[in-house]
């Protein structure tokens, strides 16, 4: 295809994809199937790869992510990003209404909206294109999260209709509750730390460095505040501005009410107090705003917040009940968590029987006694917590709760590491939940990917005495497996103290599949085997860097601490943890067995020692036709080195589109050659 035809087709596809996106994510009325949508996206990406010069920054292809943000740069807000006065009492709302009436007069209309519980974002549009997305930051400047925000499908990259030439719109990025539960379930299965609530998950996700991972997560966004320079104001009220913004393609809630009396405002507050539990996302209150923009201007701002708006926050729901007992649970890392058993009580629509007690300090702070009457609260967190003890109702003879000294599973004496709140069972190699946890990590998707085994099957094999560590998996025979059957109880990660009961049985096919996938796993590359070992602090990325640096397990064993910390991404803590692991004879023995089973414990160097870039150091900056990461990989592959900032030792600045002028200046000053992507390909031939 010639470039003019490609340009036309790209424009066509972009427009259609934008329209279908709007139909699906804003109107919830898709006109085509997901498959058709994916096919169009694929065609667009293919064309853009073929003609990188035709990629527009607001192309729908940006939705799939790909670019890596090393550090989020900070930029000033065009309009300061203020917050709202908070109140928990109705009196304060009445005071607010009276204050407003006193300075404006009695004829006032208010808008009541939901107060979304997520992460505030400010979007800047120019000529209908999303140009920049910033976090709140300190209110005057925020972090640039544009690349990640572009992956949120309900945020339009290009607008339709009659929009102002340049404006900002503010909103809240949030994690829908269902997606949040799925995310945590997947993290639990991989032995990763769980997010405490959807807000934390949203905050963590929007600051991920890998935008394609953000694209895989299901973030969403509500917009609630339009800001333009006065000259381009076309409307008189906040309500109107939101209705207009909806027409341009923004996701604006329908749960907005125009209220002219105090009663109407309280009705809105009361209605949502209960109904909020049925929403598919979290809200933590109601926002009340003066509707007229002229009146808003008259009222103005204090240093921190507008005088024309206030937030009413719902109290976390709480209930009183009796403490029946305390269980101690051991997690995969050996950390022991106390869990309260409660007299069942109804709270925010569910029956609560257990509550987390966090750690020993928490129990001591509450001075908790058995049979105390305690207050349980369900805030943003899914797991209810105990917030208070009613001392007046305490039985004089009741005994105080004492934190266990021994592991409830293997009876080993617990230890407490300096500076940490948790007590640990140090018997890492012999404590059942810790062993099972390690094996579960070993088989997980991003590690050895042994799909036909799961938590239940691991538990069964362990209980039958067939496996005591990952190496034992490779000794399993058909005879071992066939016919095994058991009812398994596993702790429910999302509901501490509760158990999930399921029946596990190994029929002919299951046994065969397990052996087959174990055999398959022997091809898994070295870096994933390293990750699978479960060395503390060695995640997927570190494992990869480590494998690329040492190339084999034997080399890793003989690497000094200094060699390890010289590896990208490996600091003192990780290096110490690696050495600790690799010096332990128990681990060495297991590695020997895994080696004998045929797992990959070395890899070939991808680096050409006498490659064309041998000894040359590069700084890569800007946007390219391929991801920056893949260019950096190429540099290393051909013998070069990546460095993060320009210095006299830099040999080349590989410059893409949108590179900051400061960098260019600096390179010129230092006399460093600036090369384009094309020049780079010529260099490596
Ligand atoms: S309007 C000048 N409307 O709550 C401030 N904020 O504590 C304009 N929020 O900073 C904000 N839902 O992050 C507004 N419907 C809504 C909101 C909302 C959630 C957040 C926002 C704000 C914070 C105030």
> Mean pLDDT of all residues in the chain?
90
Going by the DSSP 8-state scheme, the letter that residue 572 receives in this structure is H
pLDDT in tens, 143-152: 999 999 999 9
Give the rounded percent of residues in the chain with a pLDDT score beyond 70: 96
Q: What is the CATH number of the domain that holds 385?
A: 2.40.50.140
Q: Can you tell me which atom of ligand 1 is nearest the CA of 301?
A: 2
pLDDT at site 315: 84
Specify if 612 maps to a domain. no
pLDDT at site 70: 76
Q: What is the CATH number of the domain that holds 583?
A: 1.10.150.20
Ligand 1 centroid to residue 157 C-alpha, Å: 22
A 10 A CB-CB count for 629 gives: 14
Q: What is the CATH number of the domain that holds 678?
A: 3.40.50.10190
Specify if 489 maps to a domain. yes
Q: What is the b/e burial string over 386-422, where b = at least 16 CB atoms within 10 angstroms of the residue's CB?
A: beebeeeeeeeeeeebebeeebebbebebeeeeeeeb
Residues 325 and 401 in one domain: yes
Among 93-102, 452-461, 484-493, 541-550, name the one with the lowest average pLDDT.
Answer: 484-493
Q: Which two tokens stand for residue 401?
A: 């709760």
Best residue among 122, 136, 224 to mutate for probing ligand 1's pocket (most ligand atoms within 8 Å of CB) is 224
pLDDT band at 490 (very low <50, low <70, confident <90, very high): low
Residues 301 and 334 in one domain: no
pLDDT in tens, 376-386: 988 666 678 89
Among 99-113, 232-246, 347-361, 497-511, name the one with the lowest average pLDDT.
Answer: 497-511
pLDDT for residue 6 is more than 90: yes
pLDDT for residue 416 is more than 80: yes
Residues 142 and 120 in one domain: yes
Decide which of 567, 597, 627 is a domain's last residue. Answer: 597
pLDDT in tens, 628-672: 878 888 898 888 888 878 888 899 999 988 787 888 888 999 999
Residues 564 and 643 in one domain: no
Ligand 1 centroid to residue 255 C-alpha, Å: 15
Residues 249 and 121 in one domain: yes
Using CA atoms, how far residue 564 sits from 495, 530, 561, 644, in Å, is 40, 14, 5, 19
The single residue of 46, 101, 102, 115 carrying the catalytic annotation is 115
Residues 530 and 519 in one domain: no
Q: Which two tokens stand for residue 391?
A: 């001392």
Active site residue 411: no
pLDDT at site 488: 66
Bigger pLDDT: 304 or 100?
100
pLDDT at site 612: 87
Residues 181 and 214 in one domain: yes
pLDDT at site 56: 87
Residues 563 and 635 in one domain: no
Ligand 1 centroid to residue 211 C-alpha, Å: 26
Q: Which residue has the tokens 């990989």?
A: 633
pLDDT band at 245 (very low <50, low <70, confident <90, very high): very high
CA-CA-CA-CA torsion sign (567, 571, 572, 578): negative
Specify if 89 maps to a domain. yes
Q: What is the CATH number of the domain that holds 58?
A: 1.10.287.610
pTM of the shown model: 0.62
Decide which of 408, 424, 440 is a domain's last residue. Answer: 424
Whose C-alpha lies nearest to ligand 1, atom 17?
Answer: 115
Whose C-alpha lies nearest to ligand 1, atom 5?
Answer: 83
pLDDT in tens, 604-637: 877 777 788 988 999 998 888 888 878 888 898 8
Residues 409 and 442 in one domain: no
pLDDT at site 260: 93
Average pLDDT in the 349-372 region? 89
Average pLDDT in the 254-260 region? 95
Specify if 605 maps to a domain. no
Ligand 1 centroid to residue 172 C-alpha, Å: 8
Bigger pLDDT: 586 or 662?
586
For every residue of 619-683, DSSP letters joined together read: EEESB-SS-HHHHHHHHHHTT-EE-SS--TT--EEEE-BT--HHHHHHHHHHTPPEE-HHHHHHH
pLDDT band at 308 (very low <50, low <70, confident <90, very high): very high
Whose C-alpha lies nearest to ligand 1, atom 2?
Answer: 82
Residues 101 and 174 in one domain: yes
Cα distance between residue 62 and residue 25, in whole Å = 16
Q: Which two tokens stand for residue 561?
A: 């601490």
Cα distance between residue 125 and residue 163, in whole Å = 10
Best residue among 122, 172, 199, 290 to mutate for probing ligand 1's pocket (most ligand atoms within 8 Å of CB) is 172
Q: Can you tell me which atom of ligand 1 is nearest the CA of 82?
A: 2
58: containing domain: 3-64
- Beta pairing partners, 170: 122, 225
Phi, psi of 141 (to 5 degrees): -140, 150
pLDDT band at 202 (very low <50, low <70, confident <90, very high): very high
Phi, psi of 406 (to 5 degrees): -120, 155
Among 171-180, 191-200, 535-544, 583-592, name the one with the lowest average pLDDT.
Answer: 191-200
Specify if 609 maps to a domain. no
Specify if 603 maps to a domain. no
pLDDT for residue 494 is more than 60: no
Q: Can you tell me which atom of ligand 1 is nearest the CA of 114?
A: 15
Longest dimension (CA), the chain: 88
Residues 285 and 374 in one domain: no
pLDDT at site 378: 80
Average pLDDT in the 564-591 region? 92
Specify if 655 maps to a domain. yes
3-state DSSP assignment of residue 292? strand
Among 319-328, 493-502, 554-563, name the one with the lowest average pLDDT.
Answer: 493-502
3-state DSSP assignment of residue 479? helix
Decide which of 463, 495, 523 is a domain's last residue. Answer: 523
Question: Is 16:44 a contact under the CB 8 Å cutoff?
Answer: no
Q: Can you tell me which atom of ligand 1 is nearest the CA of 117?
A: 19
pLDDT for residue 497 is more than 60: no
Q: Can you tell me which atom of ligand 1 is nearest the CA of 306?
A: 2
Average pLDDT in the 483-492 region? 72
Best residue among 77, 81, 84 to mutate for probing ligand 1's pocket (most ligand atoms within 8 Å of CB) is 84
Residues 461 and 495 in one domain: yes
pLDDT at site 278: 87
Bigger pLDDT: 597 or 331?
597
Ligand 1 centroid to residue 287 C-alpha, Å: 7
Number of domains in the chain: 6
Ligand 1 centroid to residue 375 C-alpha, Å: 30
pLDDT band at 577 (very low <50, low <70, confident <90, very high): very high
Q: List residues near ligand 1 (CB under 6 A).
A: 82-84, 113-116, 120, 172, 224-225, 287, 306, 311
CA-CA-CA-CA torsion sign (358, 363, 365, 368): positive
pLDDT at site 20: 92
Q: In what order do the strands lie in the sheet with 617-621?
A: 641-642, 617-621, 652-655, 674-675
Whose C-alpha lies nearest to ligand 1, atom 3?
Answer: 224
Q: In what order do the strands lie in the sheet with 257-259?
A: 86-87, 309-313, 283-290, 110-116, 257-259
Specify if 303 maps to a domain. yes
């Amino acid at each position: 295809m010639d470039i003019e035809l490609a340009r036309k087709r790209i424009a066509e596809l972009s427009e259609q994809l934008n329209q279908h996106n709007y139909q699906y994510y804003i109107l919830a009325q898709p006109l085509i199937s997901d498959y058709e949508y994916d096919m169009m996206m694929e065609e667009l990406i293919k064309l853009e790869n073929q003609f990188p010069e035709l990629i527009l920054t607001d192309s729908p292809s940006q939705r799939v992510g790909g670019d890596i943000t090393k550090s989020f740069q900070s930029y000033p807000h065009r309009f300061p990003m203020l917050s709202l006065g908070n109140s928990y009492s109705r009196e304060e709302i009445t005071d607010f209404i009276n204050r407003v009436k006193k300075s404006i007069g009695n004829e006032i209309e208010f808008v009541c909206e939901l107060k979304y519980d997520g992460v505030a974002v400010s979007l800047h549009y120019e000529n209908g294109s999303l140009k920049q997305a910033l976090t709140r930051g300190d209110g005057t400047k925020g972090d640039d999260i544009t690349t990640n925000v572009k992956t949120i499908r309900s945020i339009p990259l290009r607008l339709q209709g009659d929009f102002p030439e340049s404006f900002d719109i503010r909103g809240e990025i949030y994690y829908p509750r269902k997606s949040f539960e799925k995310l945590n379930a997947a993290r639990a299965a991989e032995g990763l730390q769980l997010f405490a609530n959807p807000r934390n998950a949203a905050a963590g996700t929007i600051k991920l460095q890998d935008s394609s991972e953000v694209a895989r997560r299901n973030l969403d966004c509500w917009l609630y505040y339009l800001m333009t320079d006065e000259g381009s104001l076309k409307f008189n009220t906040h309500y109107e501005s939101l209705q207009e913004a909806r027409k341009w393609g923004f996701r604006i809630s329908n749960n907005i009410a125009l209220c002219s009396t105090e009663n109407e405002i309280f009705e809105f507050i009361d209605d949502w107090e209960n109904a909020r539990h049925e929403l598919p996302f979290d809200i933590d209150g109601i926002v009340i705003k003066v509707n007229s923009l002229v009146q808003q201007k008259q009222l103005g701002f204090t240093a921190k917040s507008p005088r024309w708006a206030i937030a009413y926050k719902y109290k976390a729901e709480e209930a009183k009940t009796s403490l029946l007992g305390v269980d101690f649970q051991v997690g995969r890392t050996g950390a022991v968590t106390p869990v309260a058993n409660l007299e069942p009580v109804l709270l925010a629509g569910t029956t609560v029987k257990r509550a987390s007690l966090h750690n020993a300090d928490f129990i001591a702070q509450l001075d908790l006694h058995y049979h105390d009457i305690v207050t349980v609260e369900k805030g943003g967190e899914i797991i209810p917590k105990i917030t208070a003890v009613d001392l007046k109702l305490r039985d004089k003879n009741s005994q105080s709760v004492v934190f266990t000294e021994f592991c409830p599973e293997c009876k080993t004496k617990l230890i407490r590491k300096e500076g940490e709140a948790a007590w640990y069972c140090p018997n890492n190699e012999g404590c059942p939940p810790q062993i099972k946890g390690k094996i579960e990590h070993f088989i997980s998707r991003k590690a050895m990917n042994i799909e036909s085994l799961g938590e239940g099957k691991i538990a069964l094999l362990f209980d039958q005495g067939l496996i005591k560590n990952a190496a034992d998996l490779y000794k399993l025979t058909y005879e071992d497996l066939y016919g095994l059957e058991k009812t398994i109880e596993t702790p429910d990660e999302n509901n501490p103290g509760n158990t999930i009961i399921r029946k596990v049985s190994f029929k002919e096919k299951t046994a065969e599949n397990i052996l087959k996938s174990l055999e398959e796993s022997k091809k898994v590359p070295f870096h994933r085997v390293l990750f699978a070992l479960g060395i503390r602090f060695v995640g997927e990325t570190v494992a990869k860097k480590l494998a690329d640096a040492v190339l084999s397990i034997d080399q890793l064993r003989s690497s000094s601490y200094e060699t390890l910390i010289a590896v990208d991404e490996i600091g003192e803590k990780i290096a110490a943890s690696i050495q600790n692991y690799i010096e332990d004879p128990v681990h060495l023995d297991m590695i020997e067995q895994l080696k004998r089973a045929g797992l990959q414990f070395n890899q070939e160097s991808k680096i050409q020692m006498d490659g064309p870039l041998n000894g040359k150091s590069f700084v890569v900056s800007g946007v390219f036709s391929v991801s920056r990461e893949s260019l950096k990989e190429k540099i290393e592959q051909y013998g070069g080195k990546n460095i993060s900032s320009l210095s006299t030792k830099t040999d080349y600045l590989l410059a893409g589109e949108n590179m900051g002028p400061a960098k260019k200046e600096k390179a010129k000053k230092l006399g460093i050659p600036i090369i384009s992507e094309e020049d780079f390909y010529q260099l490596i031939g």
